[in-house]
Amino acid sequence: MARKTHVTDVLQAWNRGDGEALEDLVNLVYTELYERCRRALSKERPNHTLAPTGLLNEVYLRLAALKRVSWTNRATFFAFSVRLIRQVLVEHARTLSALKRGGAASRIDLDLAHLADQPTQTIDVLALDEALELLEERDPRMVKIIELRFFAGMTEEECSEALELSRATVQRDWRFAKRWLASRLSGEADGSGTLDHD
Protein backbone atom coordinates (compact mmCIF):
# COMPACT_ATOMS: atom_id res chain seq x y z
CA MET A 1 0.00 0.00 0.00
CA ALA A 2 1.28 3.48 -0.80
CA ARG A 3 1.70 5.40 2.43
CA LYS A 4 -0.99 7.98 3.04
CA THR A 5 0.17 11.50 3.74
CA HIS A 6 -3.06 13.09 5.02
CA VAL A 7 -4.79 12.19 8.27
CA THR A 8 -8.22 12.10 6.62
CA ASP A 9 -6.98 9.61 4.00
CA VAL A 10 -5.50 7.40 6.71
CA LEU A 11 -8.65 7.53 8.81
CA GLN A 12 -10.72 6.54 5.79
CA ALA A 13 -8.35 3.64 5.15
CA TRP A 14 -8.66 2.57 8.79
CA ASN A 15 -12.46 2.81 8.50
CA ARG A 16 -12.20 0.34 5.61
CA GLY A 17 -10.20 -2.07 7.77
CA ASP A 18 -6.70 -1.36 6.43
CA GLY A 19 -4.35 -2.92 8.97
CA GLU A 20 -1.43 -0.62 8.11
CA ALA A 21 -3.42 2.58 8.60
CA LEU A 22 -2.69 2.90 12.33
CA GLU A 23 1.06 2.92 11.74
CA ASP A 24 0.63 5.58 9.05
CA LEU A 25 -1.60 7.58 11.38
CA VAL A 26 0.88 7.47 14.24
CA ASN A 27 3.66 8.62 11.89
CA LEU A 28 1.51 11.58 10.85
CA VAL A 29 0.29 12.67 14.29
CA TYR A 30 3.00 11.45 16.69
CA THR A 31 4.32 14.89 17.60
CA GLU A 32 0.88 16.38 18.15
CA LEU A 33 -0.36 13.38 20.13
CA TYR A 34 2.82 13.44 22.24
CA GLU A 35 2.14 17.12 22.97
CA ARG A 36 -1.41 16.28 24.08
CA CYS A 37 0.03 13.68 26.48
CA ARG A 38 2.63 16.14 27.74
CA ARG A 39 -0.04 18.78 28.40
CA ALA A 40 -2.24 16.31 30.27
CA LEU A 41 0.69 15.21 32.45
CA SER A 42 1.75 18.82 33.11
CA LYS A 43 -1.36 19.12 35.27
CA GLU A 44 -0.40 16.07 37.32
CA ARG A 45 1.81 16.07 40.40
CA PRO A 46 5.53 16.66 39.59
CA ASN A 47 6.66 13.13 40.56
CA HIS A 48 4.09 11.31 38.43
CA THR A 49 5.28 7.84 37.46
CA LEU A 50 4.03 8.15 33.88
CA ALA A 51 6.06 10.12 31.36
CA PRO A 52 4.54 11.50 28.15
CA THR A 53 6.08 8.66 26.13
CA GLY A 54 4.62 6.04 28.48
CA LEU A 55 1.20 7.67 28.34
CA LEU A 56 1.42 7.85 24.55
CA ASN A 57 2.36 4.15 24.41
CA GLU A 58 -0.72 3.27 26.47
CA VAL A 59 -2.91 5.34 24.14
CA TYR A 60 -1.33 3.65 21.12
CA LEU A 61 -2.04 0.18 22.54
CA ARG A 62 -5.70 1.10 23.02
CA LEU A 63 -5.90 2.48 19.52
CA ALA A 64 -4.27 -0.67 18.14
CA ALA A 65 -6.92 -2.79 19.89
CA LEU A 66 -9.68 -1.10 17.89
CA LYS A 67 -10.87 -3.09 14.91
CA ARG A 68 -12.98 -0.47 13.14
CA VAL A 69 -13.26 3.27 13.61
CA SER A 70 -15.57 5.93 12.28
CA TRP A 71 -13.63 9.17 12.59
CA THR A 72 -13.91 11.53 9.67
CA ASN A 73 -11.04 13.96 10.29
CA ARG A 74 -8.08 14.74 12.53
CA ALA A 75 -10.22 16.75 14.95
CA THR A 76 -12.53 13.82 15.72
CA PHE A 77 -9.52 11.52 16.02
CA PHE A 78 -7.87 13.83 18.57
CA ALA A 79 -11.13 14.19 20.49
CA PHE A 80 -11.23 10.40 20.86
CA SER A 81 -7.51 10.27 21.75
CA VAL A 82 -8.00 12.80 24.54
CA ARG A 83 -10.71 10.55 25.99
CA LEU A 84 -8.18 7.70 25.97
CA ILE A 85 -5.58 9.92 27.69
CA ARG A 86 -8.09 10.70 30.45
CA GLN A 87 -8.94 6.99 30.82
CA VAL A 88 -5.29 6.01 31.16
CA LEU A 89 -4.65 8.70 33.79
CA VAL A 90 -7.71 7.70 35.81
CA GLU A 91 -6.85 4.00 35.67
CA HIS A 92 -3.28 4.83 36.72
CA ALA A 93 -4.61 6.83 39.69
CA ARG A 94 -6.96 3.98 40.68
CA THR A 95 -4.08 1.50 40.58
CA LEU A 96 -1.90 3.74 42.75
CA SER A 97 -4.74 4.30 45.19
CA ALA A 98 -5.34 0.56 45.49
CA LEU A 99 -1.63 -0.11 46.00
CA LYS A 100 -1.55 2.44 48.78
CA ARG A 101 -4.56 0.70 50.40
CA GLY A 102 -6.72 3.74 50.49
CA GLY A 103 -3.86 6.19 50.65
CA ALA A 104 -3.77 9.45 48.78
CA ALA A 105 -4.78 9.05 45.17
CA SER A 106 -2.97 10.70 42.33
CA ARG A 107 -3.50 14.45 42.36
CA ILE A 108 -3.43 17.12 39.70
CA ASP A 109 -3.10 20.86 39.79
CA LEU A 110 -6.44 22.14 38.62
CA ASP A 111 -6.18 25.76 37.67
CA LEU A 112 -9.56 26.89 38.90
CA ALA A 113 -8.58 30.41 37.90
CA HIS A 114 -9.18 29.17 34.38
CA LEU A 115 -12.31 27.40 35.54
CA ALA A 116 -14.08 30.00 37.63
CA ASP A 117 -11.83 32.84 38.78
CA GLN A 118 -10.52 30.84 41.73
CA PRO A 119 -6.94 30.02 42.75
CA THR A 120 -5.10 26.93 41.61
CA GLN A 121 -5.69 23.98 43.91
CA THR A 122 -4.68 20.35 43.96
CA ILE A 123 -7.51 17.99 43.09
CA ASP A 124 -7.72 14.22 43.40
CA VAL A 125 -7.77 12.76 39.87
CA LEU A 126 -10.45 10.31 40.94
CA ALA A 127 -12.62 13.13 42.35
CA LEU A 128 -12.25 14.97 39.05
CA ASP A 129 -13.22 11.84 37.13
CA GLU A 130 -16.22 11.30 39.40
CA ALA A 131 -17.36 14.88 38.80
CA LEU A 132 -16.94 14.45 35.05
CA GLU A 133 -18.92 11.20 35.11
CA LEU A 134 -21.74 12.94 36.98
CA LEU A 135 -21.71 15.80 34.49
CA GLU A 136 -21.63 13.34 31.59
CA GLU A 137 -24.91 11.80 32.76
CA ARG A 138 -26.51 15.22 32.39
CA ASP A 139 -24.62 16.75 29.48
CA PRO A 140 -22.02 14.61 27.64
CA ARG A 141 -21.14 17.47 25.30
CA MET A 142 -19.84 19.58 28.19
CA VAL A 143 -17.56 16.75 29.30
CA LYS A 144 -16.14 16.48 25.79
CA ILE A 145 -15.43 20.22 25.85
CA ILE A 146 -13.72 19.96 29.26
CA GLU A 147 -11.59 17.06 28.05
CA LEU A 148 -10.51 18.92 24.94
CA ARG A 149 -9.91 22.27 26.63
CA PHE A 150 -8.47 21.11 29.97
CA PHE A 151 -6.71 17.83 29.24
CA ALA A 152 -5.57 18.54 25.68
CA GLY A 153 -5.29 22.32 25.78
CA MET A 154 -7.31 22.70 22.58
CA THR A 155 -8.54 26.13 21.58
CA GLU A 156 -12.20 27.00 21.20
CA GLU A 157 -11.77 26.81 17.44
CA GLU A 158 -10.24 23.31 17.65
CA CYS A 159 -13.06 22.17 19.96
CA SER A 160 -15.61 23.61 17.59
CA GLU A 161 -14.11 21.64 14.70
CA ALA A 162 -13.69 18.41 16.67
CA LEU A 163 -17.23 18.43 18.02
CA GLU A 164 -18.81 19.99 14.93
CA LEU A 165 -20.34 22.79 17.01
CA SER A 166 -20.46 26.52 16.55
CA ARG A 167 -17.79 28.48 18.40
CA ALA A 168 -20.56 30.32 20.32
CA THR A 169 -21.93 26.99 21.59
CA VAL A 170 -18.44 25.88 22.68
CA GLN A 171 -17.89 29.20 24.48
CA ARG A 172 -21.26 29.04 26.26
CA ASP A 173 -20.85 25.41 27.32
CA TRP A 174 -17.23 25.97 28.41
CA ARG A 175 -18.25 28.92 30.62
CA PHE A 176 -20.99 26.92 32.28
CA ALA A 177 -18.94 23.73 32.61
CA LYS A 178 -16.07 25.64 34.26
CA ARG A 179 -18.38 27.12 36.86
CA TRP A 180 -20.13 23.82 37.54
CA LEU A 181 -16.90 21.86 37.81
CA ALA A 182 -15.21 24.44 40.06
CA SER A 183 -18.26 24.48 42.32
CA ARG A 184 -18.48 20.69 42.41
CA LEU A 185 -14.79 20.19 43.19
CA SER A 186 -14.77 22.85 45.89
CA GLY A 187 -17.65 21.07 47.63
CA GLU A 188 -20.16 23.86 47.09
CA ALA A 189 -22.48 21.77 44.92
CA ASP A 190 -24.01 18.35 45.33
CA GLY A 191 -24.43 17.93 41.60
CA SER A 192 -28.18 17.46 41.90
CA GLY A 193 -29.14 20.79 40.41
CA THR A 194 -30.21 21.35 36.85
CA LEU A 195 -27.76 22.31 34.17
CA ASP A 196 -29.18 25.65 33.13
CA HIS A 197 -27.01 27.40 30.56
CA ASP A 198 -26.41 31.13 30.41
Looking at residues 123-139, what average pLDDT do you find? 85
User: Apex CA 11: angle with CA 10 and CA 17, to 5°?
Assistant: 90
How far apart CA 86 and CA 92 sit, in angstroms, is: 10
Q: First and final CA of the chain: distance in angstroms?
A: 51
Per the prediction, the chain carries an average pLDDT of: 78
SS3 103: coil
Q: Please report which confidence band the pLDDT of residue 100 belongs to, taking 50, 70 and 90 as the band edges.
A: low
Looking at residues 107-116, what average pLDDT do you find? 48
Looking at residues 145-150, what average pLDDT do you find? 87
The predicted pLDDT at position 188 comes to 57
Q: Please report which confidence band the pLDDT of residue 193 belongs to, taking 50, 70 and 90 as the band edges.
A: very low
Q: Where are the domains of the chain?
A: 7-185
Around 72, how many Cα atoms within 13 Å sit in the side-chain half-sphere? Answer: 4
Asked if 81 and 11 touch (Cβ cutoff 8 Å), the reply is: no
The predicted pLDDT at position 99 comes to 63
How far apart CA 87 and CA 12 sit, in angstroms, is: 25
The predicted pLDDT at position 116 comes to 39
